[in-house]
Structure 1
Amino acid sequence: MLPDGYAEIIFHFGGACCILDNGELQPLPSPFLMGLLDQPVMLSTNRLDIIGVRCFPWTVFDLLGLPSSQDKVRIFEHPIVQLQSALNKQVRDGRIEDALDQLKEYFWNARSRIAIDSMLFDAGIAMREANGAMPIRQVAAAVHATVRTLERKFKQSSGYTVKDVSGLMRFEQVRNQLWLSPNSSIADVAYELGYTDQSHLSREFKRYAGVAPGAFVRKAREAKKL
């Protein structure tokens, strides 16, 4: 799994799910929370079906009633685990849409029961629309808050700073564009997404993806030939 600007609540079916941690496989229950990543994570299994619920990092902990953290993988106790049996049967029977509808209904109801912080919501929307390229002062100005107040509330809710999440959002855009259009000019992508230059993009990309953008592009081209 490559980093992006989301946390994910991951349900898995049909096999054992493990994460490679310090060279050892650690089994994971279903569901578990995959937090924000700053490098790729390898999930190892023979055969696995996954449904991932993508969440904004500034809302996921309130949604689950958990304190925020920077854990890459988090195992938690929550009534949501009661969905596992029904979802497993639906997936096994090939009724994927029914499984998704059940999850959508559950999370829609769960969201309606928690207070939404309008400052964080609006800040997140501004960051998303700018593809992570908006400086924090501009984000704060967009939501009529001071930088200090925004940073404090953002860190409390997500465990991360605005800069941390913005960097992941921008990497996500680069990753998606190079995977979908591997013949794109890396220099043009760097300019489009507000990097200082191609070298800046390459350093950030390798930090998050573990490989240089050129190697990632070659892999994307090979995948499209299959």
Structure 2
Amino acid sequence: MQPQEFAPPAELRATIKCFWHTSLTLGEQTAGWEVMPDGYAEIIFCFGGVCSVATPGGWQPLSSPFLVGLLGQPALFRAPHQLEILGIRCFPWMVFELLGLPAGQDGVRSLAHPLAQLQAPLTQWLQAGNLPEAVAMLAQYLGQARPRGASGSLLDKAGEAMRAAQGTLPVSQVAAAAHATVRTLERRFKQSAGYTVKDVSGLMRFEQARNHLWQHPAASLAALAHELGYADQAHLSREFKRYSGLTPAAFARKARRG
């Protein structure tokens, strides 16, 4: 089932890209699925089963909600039978401030956070088939939790420039758009996101390449590299394999098979 997306209210648009919902039917056996890196952080509520993430030490159960931060490689999840997911897609330079947590690079983690108090009422709304009310409850909670004075900040301006350019702007131009020095921008960004502007821009650009190849697997890689601001096709291939574990050509073949 394709996720259903909901736009956030105006006061949250600098922090949240969208709310989304999907239902997965995973069969009688516990089944897994892969999540590819992209330029967002996700707050995930699960209903109907326990979701686990693959780690070097084995499968780690995740309490709901959990956080999927910026990923450097695909992450593998699994859950039993039927699973319903309500997600909050956040900009990575705002998500930790929104949650009142220190920034980190730990990828996937359970959240010991007051947000967990919404699990029970959200479950009731979803069981009643009232998805809009569940989304409205999340939006109201996060609107009240959002740090005041965030709108119009340096990070908002930097993030807007990065999103408009789909991750292709050099750091100096992002800083200029934010009316800040490169040093100030990098310091504030690392404090807020846990990553540098270049790190996040690289993921945003990879996401564009991944989406384009999934939709157009016969696309010219040289033309795609030029369009997305890579130095050349070899640069695109190195970055693509870094984040996906596959070359662009191998990913395109996978896309052709659906």
- Range class of TM-score, shorter chain: over 0.9
CA contact (8 A) 1:62 1:114 kept: no
Pairing 1:121–2:168 present: no
Query: Aligned residue for 1:86?
Result: 121
Query: Aligned residue for 2:43?
Result: 9
Q: 1:107 to 1:181 in 2, by over 3 A?
A: farther
Which is further off, 20-29 or 175-184? 175-184
Report matched runs for 1:192-207 at 5 Å. Answer: 192-207=227-242
CA deviations on 1:22-48 (whole Å, 9 max, x unpaired) are 050000000011111011000012232
Q: Which has the larger share of strand? A: 2
- SS of the residue aligned with 1:42? strand
User: Separation in 1 of the partners of 2:243 and 2:94?
Assistant: 23
Pairing 1:135–2:170 present: yes
Pairing 1:38–2:72 present: yes
CA deviations on 1:138-160 (whole Å, 9 max, x unpaired) are 11112221111110010111111
Pairing 1:110–2:145 present: yes
Query: Aligned residue for 1:58?
Result: 93
Query: Aligned residue for 1:217?
Result: 252
User: Separation in 1 of the partners of 2:126 and 2:220?
Assistant: 40
Query: Aligned residue for 1:29?
Result: 63
Selected match of 2:107 from 72, 75, 79 = 72
User: Separation in 2 of the partners of 1:23 and 1:75?
Assistant: 16
User: Separation in 2 of the partners of 1:24 and 1:59?
Assistant: 31
User: Separation in 2 of the partners of 1:49 and 1:20?
Assistant: 19
- 1:197: how far off? 1.1
Q: 1:78 to 1:115 in 2, by over 3 A?
A: farther
User: Separation in 2 of the partners of 1:159 and 1:94?
Assistant: 37
Selected match of 1:179 from 209, 214, 218 = 214
Q: Which runs of 5+ in 1 are unaligned?
A: none
% same residue: 59
- SS of the residue aligned with 2:75? coil
User: What TM-score, normalized to structure 1?
Assistant: 0.93
Q: Which runs of 5+ in 2 are unaligned?
A: 1-34
- 1:115: how far off? 3.0
User: Separation in 2 of the partners of 1:37 and 1:150?
Assistant: 22
- SS of the residue aligned with 1:49? strand
- SS of the residue aligned with 2:257? helix
**Matched residue type, 2:93:** W
User: Separation in 2 of the partners of 1:27 and 1:202?
Assistant: 34
- 1:69: how far off? 0.9
CA deviations on 1:48-72 (whole Å, 9 max, x unpaired) are 2212201111111111110111111
- Count the aligned residue pairs: 222
**Matched residue type, 1:165:** V
User: Separation in 2 of the partners of 1:54 and 1:206?
Assistant: 24
User: Separation in 1 of the partners of 2:116 and 2:109?
Assistant: 14
CA contact (8 A) 1:11 1:31 kept: yes
The CA RMSD over aligned residues, in Å, is 1.5
CA deviations on 1:90-126 (whole Å, 9 max, x unpaired) are 3334333332232223223322x43316111100110
